[in-house]
Amino acid sequence: MRLASHGISLLAGARTLVDALDLTLAAGKILGILGTNGAGKSTLLTVLAGLARPARGQVTLDGAPLAELPPLARAQCIGLLPQGDESGFFDSVADFVALGHYPCGGPPDLAPHFAMWDLAALASRRFDTLSGGERQRARLAQLAVQRPEIMLLDEPLTYLDPAHRLRLLHWLREEAGAGRSIVLTLHDPDWAAWHCDRLLFLYGDGRWCLGTGAELLTPDALEALYGPGTAILWQRAAARETV
């Protein structure tokens, strides 16, 4: 299953965030998207999920225009983990996680996903009573229940403690190993260096750059992306030597 963008442009009012982006998601690979706040990362994921249309260009799924597919057909192929806060969901954690299985039909088997994300003891709790990290784990379990071939995750490391961050990144690598296409937005180049096969830099002014970590994760490139002096925050070579 191949999701691709063809010359898409994304706007925020009169400002061009991304211009003429050609991108094909590779099966079995993890793509990391990096950029400053407001650079268009979340907007791009929303467009790739088919929940919004680009200002120009189009997104296709196996060659067919994504915008022409019914929502249920899209949900059977593409899963999105948004940044959004579902604090208005007042039912149980089990009910929230089970929503991920709706596109698949039939009763879901939630037990392995509760075990994976340490949610078994929280299953009967109201979702809106959870902490930020617990909610994020419930969102990840919901995505796992959906089991889409293409997974789009917007800042999935948010709120997670170090142990669950590692669990998430190992899980994504396992899902990629099973042939799924994974895209996630990140703010930490060290994580990107270790866990992503390709990177997409968004500069927020229309420019973008696609390449490997070896090509893009350099001090000069990071300061061009985040601003002068910021490369010192990520000592990629030192991190590799000490892990």
DSSP track, 159-189: T--HHHHHHHHHHHHHHHHTT-EEEEEES-H
Residue with tokens 């249920």: 72
pLDDT digits over 27-38, tens only?
999 999 999 999
Q: Please tell me the predicted confidence (pLDDT) of residue 241.
A: 43
Question: Which residue matches tokens 């060659």?
Answer: 63
DSSP class of residue 178? T
Give me the percent of the chain exceeding a pLDDT of 90: 85
Domains of the chain: residue spans and CATH:
3-77+148-242 (3.40.50.300), 88-147 (no CATH)
- Summarised one tens digit per residue, pLDDT across range 35-80 is 999 999 999 999 999 999 999 999 999 999 999 999 999 999 999 9
Task: Express each pLDDT in 126-156 by its tens digit.
Answer: 999 999 999 999 999 999 999 999 999 999 9
Residue 43 CA to its chain's centroid (Å): 12
pLDDT at 105: 82
